Structure 1
Amino acid sequence: METFKKLQQYYMPFKKYFLMSLFFVVIVTGITVLYPIILQITIDNVVLEEQYGLIPYLAGGFILVMIIKGIANFIQQYLGDLFGVSSVYRLRDGLYTKLQRLSFTYYDNARTGDLMSRLTMDVEGFKFFLAAGLKELIRIILLIVISLSVMFYYSIPLALVTMAAMPFLAVVVYKFDKKVHPAFRAIRKSLGRLNTRIQENVSGINTVKSLSKEDFEIERFTVNNQEYREKNIKTSNIWANYFPFMELIGNICMVALLIFGGYLVIDGNLSVGKLIAFFSLVNYILGPLMQLGFIVNQFSQAKASGERLLEILEAEEDVQEKDHALIPNSIKGHVTFENVTFKYVEGDEVALKNISFDAPPGKVIGLIGATGSGKTSITQLMTRFYEPQAGNVLIDNKPSSDYNIKALRKHIGFVLQESFLFSTSIRDNIAYGNPTASIDDIIAAAKRAQAHSFIMEMPNGYETMLGERGMGLSGGQKQRIAIARAILIDPSILILDDATSAVDMETEFRIQKALNEVMKGRTTFIIAHRISSLKHADEILVLENGEIVERGTHDQLLDNAGPYQRIYDIQYQDKQAIMNTVK
């Protein structure tokens, strides 16, 4: 029960619904046990003793208890579902909140499909046990206890014979649980891998089709699908092996009841009505005991689901916020790195090594280097997406860890190389970071990002709805909307991570011209592969293998005849070659 104890904060606030539901479960169970008693009275008193005057009373009483049972059944079902749905609402909310708080380190190792499986299938599996399985378990226990009490009242010897089968059933159920729980956990993991395969294929369908890899993807999906099928078959085999044993023990018990009960009737120690009632009561015991297999099945699924949910809820938040973190109304944008060393995963090579630089407010810092040289890592430490292993990142001469994370990021505008747009209107996408912005401010930001003209050509202008991930727009159009989104929050620090890589040279020139106005008074970091995007920077940092190997202005670096000069020559030669080809 350790898993359920750890998750109790999500269902205990709604325990009143569960307890009220249990009250009506007791009523329903008590009325259920009345049926054999009414049957016994009918046989022994009405039929055998010919007291036919009791029939109207028995019939009326039977109808009354049926009505009461129907009402109680409805209420207990409704309250049970209310308990499960309310608990899962709180649980799903907690999971989603936790996912928002986890740093990039967690997502670097997580798979989208598996996370989706946990937030849907595993949450629903846990809900089903809370809403129905747990209540059913208590109903079974109540039914067995009440039925046994009546049986002992009728005949102690016959009741003891009936109870003889229970230890055997308990052993079978225990062994069943020991085998079925690992099997269900394996099913959940396999389903997560299957969902991941589907998610990756749908997300990358353009790549799949452009490389004609449909058959390859079908084969990979078939492998995962086959694995999921085999896990389910294995679980079914476990169930198929244990259920016959449960049924055999139950049948042996019924035969023993018939033989010994018949002997007691012949000997005059038990009435016919009580013997017949005994058969009904035994079914109320053996049936629920065999149903324990189903309950164990549900419990094992819920436990496996709960364990997978706890893996998210208990995941370490490696980017921690101090209790009394600073919440500044504004920041100047002074960024300083002091001997910063950083690696993404412990044991991997360092992404940054002893990085030091100072970016005063309003300065433009260019970052250039080969892929994997550490350019993006610098900006991700600045925004506290990750924490450095050594050194300090200072914002306005205070450690970035002193700031409230949300408050800090509100002053940083981030435009990524691959711009993500939501499946909503263009207006909402631009205003995502500043939802209270007026339409005039949104249009002004779009104009600065050179996006206004193509937006006005869309069917509904700024109210045009976009497809998933901005489908329907070109890469350059998506980047310009992302730039407008960053401009609209009026950041003190602006980070452009290869933000103009998907636009043509003419559009890049117009965006750079607009950004020159936007960057005034802001500390700006420009990550680019094109030197043309960095020429105007106040300082350019050239990175290789996580270290700064050169720094200076564009002209200074060209005079150094170092790595920057080589990059410049390569790009210039490529440009010259293209021009010669055109000629």
Structure 2
Amino acid sequence: MKKKLKNKRSSLKELIKISLNYKFILISTIFTSILISFISAYRPKLVQKAIDSYILYKDFLGLKNIIILIIFLLFLESVFHFVLLYLSNILAQNVIEKIRILLFDKFLYFSSSFFNKTPIGKLISHSISDIETITVIFNDGILLVSGDILRIIMIIIMMYTVHKKLCFIVSLTIPFMYFITRFFQKTLKKTFHEERMYSSRLNSFLQENIIGMSIIQLFHKEKEEYLKFKSINYSLMKAHFKTIFYFSIFFPIVELVSAFTISIVIFYGGIYAIGKDNIQPGKIIAFIFFIYLLFRPMRQIADRFNIIQRGIAGIERIFSILNSEEIISNNGKLYLKKLKGHIIFNNVSFSYMNNDKMVLNKISFEIKPGEKVAIVGATGSGKSTITHLISRLYEIKEGKILIDGRLIQDIELKNLRYHIRVVSQDTFLFNDSIMNNITLGDSSIGIEKVKNMAKKIGIHNFINSLPNGYQYIVKERGGILSLGEKQLISFLRVQMHPYSILILDEATASLNKELEKIIYKATEILTRKKTSIIITHRLSTLKNADKIFAIYKGYIIENGTHDQLINLNGYYASLYKESFKIIKRNNSF
């Protein structure tokens, strides 16, 4: 409980800190709110004066002047309300723009383990829905609550100047209203948390199901997924119903207390008007206005506190991400213009989760500059993990990784990754043209340069055969293209950006014979005079590798050239024989 309260306070402090970057807007908003509070509280006093000083004495000129003043103040109050709403919206949009930037910047530097355990739909919900709740906090929350509190104080002061006893009677209802407000605030807080939880769950469910719709359809799971969606959607609706129910009770109670207070004022005023006090009618009417003006901000404060609670629930989730420590630290100071590509693993151990089973166990090896090295082994043996550690997508648990004699943690992160290029089986393409997917927005790479390289590695004809050629839009994730075609584009993309170390992670998997020939030709060009690490199940392609590491359950159990390992007749030889059986089986179909 204490930790939760601490997180809430910390989140609000962070939000206020960001808001203080826009001091002029903030101060202008507060000043406008003070003016509205004063004008609003002063109007009933003018009404009292109009009745008691001019209407009772039939002073038409004085009545005309005070009515003009009341109309002018109403107009002025409307103008200030417009200014207040405009400024609060400007402030809100500036703050959420800043938070969006901070959030996306945080995403860019999170470790891969964070994305592995956090659903994409949940992150999208935080980035859109939760951030939008911050807008509500500024537009209908904190700033207006402060204005409402000011208005209550001003009204009480004005009531006191009109009639002390009536002021005391009305003030007795304020504690009662406070306790009612607090009760509903606490009750509604729970329902708002439920709303946000089910809303986040719904977004996550939709994101995953839309992405995996083909799997749902192929395995005939439409009904099951429909029922799951229906259940989550129903839970969200019930959470909304709870909120509506409590609001439906709260507002009539406030109106009832307001009407009861007005009745007491009229009753008290009537008795004293008949008796000795001879209270003036203008004062009673003024107090009726005061009560309406007093209870309106009280009711609004309760409503806005609930809005703030809803916003705080969103803020807590946003700042839990912004304050997360699951990032790859970038403390490296070394900036290297060139790398030779000399890689050393020294007793490196790694697990994806703390206290989990080690994926790599104290492995040590050396890759010399310009060598073409292959890493082979069964699925889950730790092959891809080695490449992830070189790029620092994950941090090692024990040991050292050195490139050109320097610890990779000492090299500036962006600079380290600048020298490393990865081509994987699961190639990602943006919903953009092939040209933009190749250049990645680098304006220094011209179309002719791209075409020349495409011709060199043998994929120009393939790209040219597509509608609009290099300007062909590949759609989201490159969904229109086959796996092999996407790999061809990724090979060209890598070649257009300088690198010293190339990692091919199952990049030749799932290819037909025609594309396979083009890929192998491209691979020869890409790996020429570069330190290359190849991960593949196609062991027949590794005869020309300078070195092969055979890995089993996180341990390197064999290393050498293809011929050396075949002659050893051990683990690698058995994998090689098995791969030939698979090739023969596939060719028989």
Task: Return the TM-score normalized by structure 1.
Answer: 0.96
* CA-CA distance at 1:420 after TM superposition: 0.5
**Compared CA separation, residues 435 and 529, structure 1 to 2 (3 A):** farther
Deviations 1:457-484 (A, max 9, x none): 1221111222111122111111111111
Which whole-Å CA distance do the structure 2 matches of 1:45 and 1:533 have between them?
104
Greater Cα offset, 396-405 or 560-569: 560-569
The aligned residue for residue 157 of structure 1 is 165
Pairing partner for 2:156 from 105, 124, 148: 148
The aligned residue for residue 509 of structure 1 is 517
2:296 equivalent to 1:292: no
Secondary structure of the residue that 1:511 maps to in structure 2? helix
Greater Cα offset, 6-15 or 374-383: 6-15
2:451 equivalent to 1:443: yes
Aligned ranges 1:41-120 → 2 under 5 Å: 41-120=49-128
Pairing partner for 2:213 from 197, 205, 209: 205
Which whole-Å CA distance do the structure 1 matches of 2:557 and 2:529 have between them?
28
**Compared CA separation, residues 437 and 395, structure 1 to 2 (3 A):** same
2:313 equivalent to 1:308: no
* CA-CA distance at 1:435 after TM superposition: 4.6
Which whole-Å CA distance do the structure 2 matches of 1:314 and 1:256 have between them?
53
Could you tell me whether the CA contact under 8 Å between 2:551 and 2:557 is conserved in 1? yes
Secondary structure of the residue that 2:421 maps to in structure 1? strand
Deviations 1:331-366 (A, max 9, x none): 111111011000000122111111111001110111
2:479 equivalent to 1:479: no
Greater Cα offset, 372-381 or 204-213: 204-213
Could you tell me whether the CA contact under 8 Å between 1:376 and 1:527 is conserved in 2? yes
Pairing partner for 2:24 from 16, 24, 37: 16
**Compared CA separation, residues 447 and 177, structure 1 to 2 (3 A):** farther
Could you tell me whether the CA contact under 8 Å between 1:81 and 1:132 is conserved in 2? no
* CA-CA distance at 1:454 after TM superposition: 1.7
Which whole-Å CA distance do the structure 2 matches of 1:383 and 1:578 have between them?
35
> Which amino acid is 1:270 matched to?
I
> Which amino acid is 1:328 matched to?
L
Could you tell me whether the CA contact under 8 Å between 1:126 and 1:301 is conserved in 2? no
**Compared CA separation, residues 417 and 9, structure 1 to 2 (3 A):** farther
> Which amino acid is 2:575 matched to?
I
Could you tell me whether the CA contact under 8 Å between 1:366 and 1:537 is conserved in 2? yes
Pairing partner for 1:380 from 358, 383, 388: 388
Greater Cα offset, 529-538 or 332-341: 529-538
**Compared CA separation, residues 465 and 298, structure 1 to 2 (3 A):** same
> Which amino acid is 2:324 matched to?
A
Could you tell me whether the CA contact under 8 Å between 2:258 and 2:291 is conserved in 1? no
**Compared CA separation, residues 382 and 435, structure 1 to 2 (3 A):** farther
> Which amino acid is 2:552 matched to?
E
Q: Which runs of 5+ in 2 are unaligned?
A: 1-8
Could you tell me whether the CA contact under 8 Å between 2:390 and 2:401 is conserved in 1? yes
Deviations 1:288-313 (A, max 9, x none): 11222211111101111110011110
* CA-CA distance at 1:269 after TM superposition: 4.2
* CA-CA distance at 1:171 after TM superposition: 1.3
Which whole-Å CA distance do the structure 2 matches of 1:481 and 1:402 have between them?
33
Aligned ranges 1:274-353 → 2 under 5 Å: 274-322=283-331, 325-353=333-361
Could you tell me whether the CA contact under 8 Å between 1:333 and 1:396 is conserved in 2? yes
Greater Cα offset, 117-126 or 511-520: 511-520
Which whole-Å CA distance do the structure 2 matches of 1:151 and 1:90 have between them?
43
RMSD after superposition: 1.8
Which whole-Å CA distance do the structure 1 matches of 2:223 and 2:211 have between them?
17
Secondary structure of the residue that 1:357 maps to in structure 2? strand
Which whole-Å CA distance do the structure 2 matches of 1:536 and 1:439 have between them?
34
The aligned residue for residue 13 of structure 2 is 5
Secondary structure of the residue that 1:61 maps to in structure 2? helix
Which whole-Å CA distance do the structure 2 matches of 1:548 and 1:439 have between them?
44
* CA-CA distance at 1:242 after TM superposition: 4.0
**Compared CA separation, residues 242 and 74, structure 1 to 2 (3 A):** closer
Q: Which runs of 5+ in 1 are unaligned?
A: none
* CA-CA distance at 1:70 after TM superposition: 3.0
Could you tell me whether the CA contact under 8 Å between 2:437 and 2:493 is conserved in 1? yes
> Which amino acid is 1:261 matched to?
G
Which whole-Å CA distance do the structure 1 matches of 2:414 and 2:179 have between them?
55
Greater Cα offset, 307-316 or 22-31: 22-31
Which whole-Å CA distance do the structure 2 matches of 1:448 and 1:531 have between them?
26
Greater Cα offset, 66-75 or 469-478: 66-75
Which whole-Å CA distance do the structure 2 matches of 1:181 and 1:446 have between them?
60
> Which amino acid is 1:398 matched to?
R
Secondary structure of the residue that 2:349 maps to in structure 1? strand
Task: Return the TM-score normalized by structure 2.
Answer: 0.95
Could you tell me whether the CA contact under 8 Å between 1:449 and 1:480 is conserved in 2? no
> Which amino acid is 1:308 matched to?
R
Aligned ranges 1:516-535 → 2 under 5 Å: 516-535=524-543
The aligned residue for residue 552 of structure 2 is 544
Which whole-Å CA distance do the structure 2 matches of 1:469 and 1:119 have between them?
21
2:471 equivalent to 1:466: no
**Compared CA separation, residues 546 and 86, structure 1 to 2 (3 A):** same
Deviations 1:113-150 (A, max 9, x none): 11111111111101211233122102211211111111
The aligned residue for residue 554 of structure 1 is 562
Deviations 1:246-267 (A, max 9, x none): 3433333222222222223223
* CA-CA distance at 1:434 after TM superposition: 4.4
Which whole-Å CA distance do the structure 1 matches of 2:198 and 2:306 have between them?
18
Greater Cα offset, 481-490 or 30-39: 30-39
> Which amino acid is 1:44 matched to?
D
Which whole-Å CA distance do the structure 1 matches of 2:296 and 2:182 have between them?
17
Which whole-Å CA distance do the structure 1 matches of 2:109 and 2:299 have between them?
45
> Which amino acid is 2:288 matched to?
F
2:559 equivalent to 1:576: no
* CA-CA distance at 1:229 after TM superposition: 1.8
Which whole-Å CA distance do the structure 1 matches of 2:108 and 2:488 have between them?
26
Secondary structure of the residue that 1:212 maps to in structure 2? coil
2:138 equivalent to 1:130: yes
Deviations 1:5-38 (A, max 9, x none): 1223321101320210222222223222233223
> Which amino acid is 1:313 matched to?
L
Could you tell me whether the CA contact under 8 Å between 1:140 and 1:288 is conserved in 2? yes
> Which amino acid is 2:454 matched to?
A
> Which amino acid is 1:7 matched to?
L
The aligned residue for residue 39 of structure 1 is 47
Which whole-Å CA distance do the structure 2 matches of 1:9 and 1:170 have between them?
29
Secondary structure of the residue that 2:376 maps to in structure 1? strand
2:412 equivalent to 1:404: yes
**Compared CA separation, residues 122 and 432, structure 1 to 2 (3 A):** same
Could you tell me whether the CA contact under 8 Å between 1:354 and 1:547 is conserved in 2? yes
Which whole-Å CA distance do the structure 1 matches of 2:82 and 2:251 have between them?
31
**Compared CA separation, residues 341 and 112, structure 1 to 2 (3 A):** same
> Which amino acid is 2:560 matched to?
G
* CA-CA distance at 1:397 after TM superposition: 1.1
Could you tell me whether the CA contact under 8 Å between 1:333 and 1:492 is conserved in 2? yes
